[in-house]
Structure 1
Amino acid sequence: MPTVETTSSIVIPAPPARVYETVTSPENWLGTHPVTVGVLNAPARPAVSGEHWTEVIRTPAGQTADLAWTVDRAEPPRRWEISTDRLLADHVRCVITYTFAEQPGATLFTRRMAVTYPDGALDDQSAARFGNPAVHDQYLANVKKLL
């Protein structure tokens, strides 16, 4: 099963607990993540292990799609991991891992996304889209600006 990974990091002048609280509250994605156009049934606080919600995104083709996310791991304020088993197509698994490393007066915030396709389902266009860190870098810059 082929996997496309991308990792982006940024230093944010805020403590890890504050960065964690902001990015693990799915309602905060609207306005920070470039493709997010809505968030449904999400808690108004950091999501904890086992919680589910739906993110509505705008696809590269300009359509909207619903992504059902689940928190697989929540370790405030160090690590948060979410996944979906249907990233724009059946059986395409996406795992996003956020890590928060304390630095003097700041947090090194890292976002790693791994998209795994069934054998034979990964095409060049999908590999290029999900392997390109530009959208992820923009999200991190927006989080920094928000904080």
Structure 2
Amino acid sequence: MRSLTRINRIHLKCPPQVAYDLVTTPDNWVGTHPVTAEVHGENTDHSAVQGARWTEIIASQGTAPFKAEWTVTEAIPGARWVIVCPNLRDPGVHCQIVYSFDEVDGGTEFTREMTVRSPENDTHGTYLENVKRALEG
């Protein structure tokens, strides 16, 4: 499996619980996350608890929209929220996002850590192997 992790942080001028409530409410993704076109599921209008599931329609520029099925695997109100999608766009492409909310300087240090794991035979790896073969024979 190949793995790619991206970590982003920002300081928010609000308490951790306020940030947590906004971020962990799937309906709020529409309008805050630039590629979230729609959210479908039960109870998506409030903070999603461990075991909750919903569908996100992702529509990024230049690609056809696709569905992502999310499940909450950890929910610690005001502190940490972890969600997973076992097949992000393609079968076998696993995505995990860890959101952390730490109280810092009277506000919140908000961290989003997204890890995507894909099979070794993904198109990117195949491309590199094809370049190697073309150059080295």
> Given the two structures, how large is their TM-score scaled by the length of structure 2?
0.86
| 1:14-25 equivalent positions in 2, closer than 5 A | 14-25=14-25
1:88–1:71 Cα change, 3 Å:
same
SS in 2 for 1:123: helix
Residue identity in the other structure for 1:62: T
When the two chains are superposed, the root-mean-square deviation of aligned CA atoms in Å is 1.2
| 1:58-77 equivalent positions in 2, closer than 5 A | 58-77=59-78
Q: Which runs of 5+ in 2 are unaligned?
A: 126-137
Structure with the bigger RCO (C-alpha within 8 Å, sep 6+) is 1
The CA distance in 2 between the partners of 1:42 and 1:5, in whole Å, is 29
- Based on CA coordinates, which of the two structures has the bigger radius of gyration? 2
Per-residue Cα deviation, 1:45-69 (whole angstroms, up to 9, x for no partner): 1000001000001134331111000
Aligned to 1:50: 51
> Given the two structures, how large is their TM-score scaled by the length of structure 1?
0.81
Residue identity in the other structure for 1:97: V
- Give the aligned length: 124
Question: Would the aligned equivalents of 1:80 and 1:99 in 2 still touch at CA under 8 Å?
Answer: yes
Q: Which runs of 5+ in 1 are unaligned?
A: 125-147
